[in-house]
Amino acid sequence: MRAIEQAAFDGGSATGIELMERAGQGVVEAILSAYPDVEQGHRHALILCGPGNNGGDGFVIARLLQERGWGVECFLYGEAIRLPPDARANHDRWAAVGPVVAFNDWRFGLRYGVRMTGDVAPTVLIDALFGTGLTRPLDEPLDRALRELDAAFPKGTALRVAVDAPSGLCMDSGRPLAPGPQEELPLRYDLTVSFHRRKLGHLLAEGPDACGSVKVADIGLDQAALRASRPELRETLAAAVTEAAPRAYELRKGGEDNPGGHKYDYGHALVLSGGPGRTGAARLAARGAIRVGAGLVTVAAPGSAMAECAAHLTAIMLTRCNGASDLGAVLEDERLNALCLGPGLGVGSATRDMVITALGSRRRCVLDADALTSFAGSAPTLFAHLHSRVVLTPHAGEFARLFPDIWRKLAETPTGGPAFSKVDATQEAAARAGCIVLFKGRDTVIAEPGGRTVVCAAAYDRATPWLATAGAGDVLSGMITGLLARDIWPVTAAEIATWLHVEAARTFGPGLIATDIPDLLPGVFRAIGV
């Protein structure tokens, strides 16, 4: 954001004061459009302004609301003379028409605020204390004062709006920078209004719970024009983390280059199954792979589990595989171009050997679940065999087993900003493993070594808590494998599959079970125009 803003200033397309005005306008418009009812009844806003440009936005909002006839109380945490220039200008503009209460003694300030409001309790509480510039945990007295405010105006009594960021939330990581080890923010919000783009902090970790909902106000920064006019920005922008998208054109079959496509044009995925009574996970993965459009899918099961698999599989083929040497023989068929190992495979040396055989074949490969856990304590052995066409799909527990030191950094209470984030952790893991790492969760992060990083947040309007159900991860592994079979670039395959997985769950709603997911894909494809 800093680079984009600086380029806009240098190119003369905007001044800081103009951007701040648009930011303040954006917040007011977002509030009125999301909560039109606040214009009814007594219109009273309590605005907390901080020592940086976030505070500057607060003073713009104060002025704009007052112009609309609102009662506004404005508090400043910090000293007016030390505000940066644009914020200072807006402070002075507001101070000419309304009071600014110094909030350095927060206890006094709060009592004063509560007394001043008297029976005119605020209908809107606006947090313009800190935005992207938060660099250290909230000071203890400030944190305490915000908790008092939380008690004085409990959530639900006044609409709570955060400007750009809930104060105390690190916008690079979504992690609270609060004093003390409890890692909990003093306030939660109904609405967070951000500028230009959602930031990582809105999507990762605690971000969604703290923000409530996020609206993005356009402040007139034209990223494409900036990229064209400022070639040196290209690298900064290319390195930026993006949000997952479905990329319907990648999923389409047929088309101009291949109108009469043959099933082998869409690859042949092989999913390895565990023994009798443990074949369900592989069958779920296989169904995910075929629904996502792999031309053919075969389940490779131990002899003892063949009958069980055969009883359940129809469109999916079946082959016998009793271990690593059988797998080597199966892989002599060069049409098998994408492999899935892990779901229900069992933890131990047999799985390790099969993984090493699979990786030795240099096929595109997804390693999940037991294939990852089998290397707990011997991760370097796994890393030695990995290559750039492999996707690892750990959840938090599996991630901790493979990358214990990186996991520890993520688990530590942050003492400053930017805090170590799930994006940092996934990028480090990908660099070490030398392959794509898809670190699962509500905030799934996908990173390619030294390349793209994508976040897929199942939050806000894409929140799908019912996706936390047995077998959902197996389906995801299969979907990625199916896309790899279709020759889609691994990091893109991981991105598309993760997006589709959430979308399928979203269309179904509560009550979802893993077996539903593959069969929801055709509906999703229709909806996104595949």
DSSP single-letter state for residue 464: -
448 binds, among K ion, ligand NAX, none (CB under 5 to 8 A by kind): none
Say if CB 423 and CB 411 are below 8 A apart.
no
| DSSP-derived 3-state class of residue 410 | helix
Contact code string over 164-183 relative to K ion, x by CB under 5 A: -x-x----------------
Rounded Cα–Cα distance for residues 286 and 518 (Å): 9
Residue 163 near K ion by CB under 5 A: yes
Say if CB 384 and CB 365 are below 8 A apart.
no
Whichever of 52 and 293 has its CB closer to ligand NAX, that residue is: 52
Q: Minimum CB separation from K ion for residue 194, in Å? A: 10
Say if CB 466 and CB 275 are below 8 A apart.
no
Residue 190 near K ion by CB under 5 A: no
What are 140's two structure tokens?
Answer: 């203890």
Say if CB 385 and CB 360 are below 8 A apart.
yes
Contact code string over 65-84 relative to ligand NAX, x by CB under 6 A: -------------------x
Residue 398 near K ion by CB under 5 A: no
153 binds, among ligand NAX, K ion, none (CB under 5 to 8 A by kind): none
| Tokens 């088309």, residue located | 255
The answer to whether 133 is annotated as binding is yes
346 binds, among ligand NAX, K ion, none (CB under 5 to 8 A by kind): none
190 binds, among K ion, ligand NAX, none (CB under 5 to 8 A by kind): none
Closest CA to 131 of 213, 208, 65, 192: 192
53 binds, among K ion, ligand NAX, none (CB under 5 to 8 A by kind): ligand NAX
Site size for K ion (CB under 5 A): 5
Contact code string over 125-144 relative to K ion, x by CB under 5 A: --x-----------------
The answer to whether 191 is annotated as binding is no
Among 109, 122, 131, 288, binds ligand NAX (CB under 6 A): 131
Among 135, 304, 378, 388, binds ligand NAX (CB under 6 A): 135
Whichever of 202 and 287 has its CB closer to ligand NAX, that residue is: 202
Q: Minimum CB separation from ligand NAX for residue 128, in Å? A: 7
127 binds, among K ion, ligand NAX, none (CB under 5 to 8 A by kind): K ion
Residue 104 near ligand NAX by CB under 6 A: no
Say if CB 130 and CB 122 are below 8 A apart.
no
Stretch that binds ligand NAX, among 132-140, 224-232, 300-308, 366-374 (CB under 6 A): 132-140
Cβ within 8 Å of residue 344, ≥6 positions away: 273, 274, 278, 279, 280, 281, 282, 369, 370, 474
Q: Minimum CB separation from ligand NAX for residue 58, in Å? A: 9
Residue 127 near ligand NAX by CB under 6 A: no
Whichever of 134 and 359 has its CB closer to ligand NAX, that residue is: 134
Say if CB 302 and CB 320 are below 8 A apart.
yes
Where in 45-64 is the site for ligand NAX (CB under 6 A)? 50-57
Tell me the residue type at 200: L
Rounded Cα–Cα distance for residues 204 and 171 (Å): 9
Contact code string over 23-42 relative to ligand NAX, x by CB under 6 A: x-------------------
Whichever of 164 and 495 has its CB closer to ligand NAX, that residue is: 164
Whichever of 163 and 339 has its CB closer to K ion, that residue is: 163
Rounded Cα–Cα distance for residues 490 and 389 (Å): 6
Stretch that binds K ion, among 62-70, 122-130, 192-200, 331-339 (CB under 5 A): 122-130
Rounded Cα–Cα distance for residues 41 and 43 (Å): 6
Cβ within 8 Å of residue 145, ≥6 positions away: 103, 106, 107, 109, 110
Say if CB 209 and CB 166 are below 8 A apart.
no
The answer to whether 416 is annotated as binding is no
Residue 280 near ligand NAX by CB under 6 A: no
What are 77's two structure tokens?
Answer: 């945490």
Residue 377, classified by CB atoms within 10 Å of its CB into exposed (0-12), middle (13-18) or buried (19+), is: exposed
Maximum Cα interatomic distance, the chain, rounded to a whole number of Å: 84
Number of Cβ within 10 Å of residue 358's Cβ equals 25
Q: Minimum CB separation from K ion for residue 169, in Å? A: 8
Residue 28 near K ion by CB under 5 A: no
Where in 352-411 is the site for ligand NAX (CB under 6 A)? none
What are 99's two structure tokens?
Answer: 């009071």
Site size for ligand NAX (CB under 6 A): 28
- The partner residues of 237 in beta bridges, in order of sequence, read none
The answer to whether 372 is annotated as binding is no
Where in 138-197 is the site for ligand NAX (CB under 6 A)? 138-139, 163-164, 195
Closest CA to 217 of 190, 243, 200, 196: 196
Residue 302 near ligand NAX by CB under 6 A: no
In order, the DSSP letters of 183-222 are: ---S---SEEEEESS--HHHHSTTHHHHHSSEEEE--S--
Q: Minimum CB separation from K ion for residue 51, in Å? A: 12
Q: Minimum CB separation from K ion for residue 131, in Å? A: 5
Whichever of 79 and 333 has its CB closer to ligand NAX, that residue is: 79
Closest CA to 83 of 51, 49, 57, 129: 51
Peptide bond preceding 418: is omega within 30 degrees of 0, i.e. cis?
yes
Residues near K ion (CB under 5 A) are 127, 162-163, 165, 167
Residues near ligand NAX (CB under 6 A) are 5, 16, 19-20, 23, 50-57, 84, 130-139, 163-164, 195, 219
